[in-house]
Structure 1
Amino acid sequence: MAGARVTGLDAHLHVEGRLDATLVAEPGDVVAVVGPNGAGKSTLVHALSGLVACTGHARLAGMDLLGRTPQDRNVGVVFQDQRLFPHLSAVDNVAFGLRSRGADKHQARAAGLDWLDRLGIAELAARKPGQLSGGQAQRVAIARALVTSPDLLLLDEPFAGLDVGVAATLRIELGRHLADFAGITVLVTHDALDALTLATQVVVLDAGQVAQVGPPTEVAARPLTEHVARLVGLNVIREGDRIRAFSPSVVTVSVHAPDDSARNRWQGVVRGAAPHGDAIRLQVSGERDLIADVTPAASRELALAPGREVWLSVKETAVTTYDAV
């Protein structure tokens, strides 16, 4: 892995109309980048890797990234669609990065085999990408990114499109390797589990700008955007410079307007209903888009199917209020 040369990442990247964001990280950090579709997450990865032209600055281990080609950045990249070379075997795909930097063919293949072994797929070394499952191909892609001992590892939704069980296994394996990784990792994800289990820092992007930065537990406890609130299973209402947050489990659902004069009550229509642990989680749209958990019995009794008009209410004592900035 990269050693003493890794001294941190300090970047401010600007891509006209798409991204204007600052990112700072130290060796060993795993930075989870989250946000809604179109927030600029993939643009950030492409800018750091050199696949998208940008202005600003980006210094990694004392090196100016923006003044270098993608091949000269010592950055490893894993995309959700792997982007393996279809005509090369798994081991030659992994060895490609070393070979392109002038490594001896036998040394590069030996290093490639070593990484395939670390990721538990050494027996698949001779297979072409078309002969691999999605999970196997993603392991090859991860091995290809790590074999060059990068200072910066970029993971653009590496578990997207994988079977839930395969993704869970790969998440555990990747977490083990990242724990020993001396460089900096930037992980783009739509899954709160990735941010909570793999990351040391969470960066929330919204409309191309950083909306929140902090440790995973802090961001999960006090999300500043509705997208992150949904990721971690909370409702968030912004009122001026204050945020009001509450759990779906404290929401009371009825089909008639509540008799009391509770301040926190909203009318809406059920847009979705799905099992969530022992409860049924409702997606309700109306004057506020909210989520609520009800028992299966209540769901049947109130006929809480999509299209059902409902009232939601929450006691003030169940709401946490904090500053938005």
Structure 2
Amino acid sequence: MSGGGGPGGLLARLSVPGRLDVELTAEPGDVVAVVGPNGAGKTTLVQALAGLQPAAGAVRLGGADLTALPPQARHVGVVFQDRRLFPHLSALQNVAFGPRTRGVGAGPARDIARDWLDRLGVGDLAGRRPGELSGGQAQRVAIARALATDPALLLLDEPFTGLDVGVAAALRIELAGHLRDYAGVTVLVTHDAIDALTLATRVAVLDGGRLAQSGSPHEVAARPRTEHVARLVGLNVIREGDHFRAFPPSAVTVSVHEPDGSARNRWPGTVRSAAPHGDAVRLQVHGDHQLIADVTPAATRELGLTPGRRVWLSVKETAIATY
């Protein structure tokens, strides 16, 4: 697959007052996972790239400036969180809609649509309307619709949101196969570390509407520079000036009384949540920092580690990586 006019790299400098001020680059074939907390500007970025959100700056794709073009002329495929399928059209008609708007004849457009529905495993549902599809089936149709136009830029805004775990896992595997063969640029907004680590070639971290960190999935996971990303990849991170101190939840000792001694790596907080995590119980503890700790089920019972419990967390200096 390739976009019209051939695949090309992406260079976007976009600004939306009070919401977004970001420069994003990608090479042909890149899958850029955009991560960050709620309100970080992820969806605003997608909408600005698609031309659905007014923004200052420039969007260059394969050497062409998309800024002055209306959304329908940008050669961009978009999969929204809520799918936005046309409710009065069948799955086949929904997918054929894109090629038709680009001047493809009715017959060839239907052939393209059937091909993509088959590729996404929902060819037998071509005659059904969105209201007759499950969430996973509807999302497959939405992805097929985005790819049917052979876009140069594919935008996926949390495509697995609201799907059952098993359905999301199957769709993630299928999408990974399609993206491996895709010559354009993909921007994938996600809140799941699995997506960033398995689908992406690069990760862009947004925080407060700005780019806080970018790099390969391995680089970002190994040295996260925001608390949000640290929690995504299962690490704690504390910023001290220009340095970051990271340590795993398994290295945290939890007590209900202030630890003895003068160790400086200790913080009071309140348990916000306690949930099974493998053989352990993972605690979310909020105080001066938002930290996670893994404790045994026995310790959870003995110490009464339930939401609202005041605790102390401590970590040995040898367990902390500084960068």
> Partners of 2:289 and 2:60 in 1: how far apart?
42
In structure 1, the partner of 2:2 is: 2
* Cα deviation 1:101-153 (Å, max 9, x = unaligned): 11111110111011000011100000000000011000000000001110000
> Partners of 2:254 and 2:301 in 1: how far apart?
13
* Cα deviation 1:60-94 (Å, max 9, x = unaligned): 01211111011111100000110000000001100
In structure 2, the partner of 1:294 is: 295
In structure 2, the partner of 1:42 is: 43
Correspondence 1:182 to 2:196 = no
1:132-171 equivalent positions in 2, closer than 5 A? 132-171=133-172
1:101-120 equivalent positions in 2, closer than 5 A? 101-120=102-121
> Partners of 2:286 and 2:51 in 1: how far apart?
41
Deviation at residue 288 of structure 1 after TM alignment: 2.4
Deviation at residue 320 of structure 1 after TM alignment: 0.6
Deviation at residue 164 of structure 1 after TM alignment: 1.1
User: Percent identity between the aligned chains?
Assistant: 72
Deviation at residue 300 of structure 1 after TM alignment: 1.2
> Partners of 2:56 and 2:289 in 1: how far apart?
38
In structure 1, the partner of 2:130 is: 129
Q: Which runs of 4+ in 1 moved over 3 A?
A: none
Correspondence 1:234 to 2:235 = yes
In structure 2, the partner of 1:303 is: 304
> Partners of 1:14 and 1:306 in 2: how far apart?
40
* Cα deviation 1:164-187 (Å, max 9, x = unaligned): 111111111101100010110000
1:1-325 equivalent positions in 2, closer than 5 A? 1-2=1-2, 5-322=6-323
RMSD: 0.9
Structure 1 SS opposite 2:214: strand
Counterpart code for 1:321: T
* Cα deviation 1:148-207 (Å, max 9, x = unaligned): 110000000000111111111111110110001011000000111100000000000111
> Partners of 1:181 and 1:252 in 2: how far apart?
46
Deviation at residue 255 of structure 1 after TM alignment: 1.3
Deviation at residue 49 of structure 1 after TM alignment: 0.4
| TM-score normalized by the length of structure 2 | 0.98
> Partners of 1:213 and 1:246 in 2: how far apart?
20
Deviation at residue 308 of structure 1 after TM alignment: 1.5
Deviation at residue 266 of structure 1 after TM alignment: 1.1
Counterpart code for 1:265: R
- Unaligned 5+ runs, structure 1: none
> Partners of 1:72 and 1:287 in 2: how far apart?
48
Deviation at residue 250 of structure 1 after TM alignment: 0.2
Deviation at residue 263 of structure 1 after TM alignment: 1.4
Indicate the larger mover: 218-227 or 282-291: 282-291
Conserved? CA contact 2:11–2:26, under 8 Å: yes
| TM-score normalized by the length of structure 1 | 0.97
Conserved? CA contact 2:120–2:140, under 8 Å: yes
Structure 1 SS opposite 2:67: helix
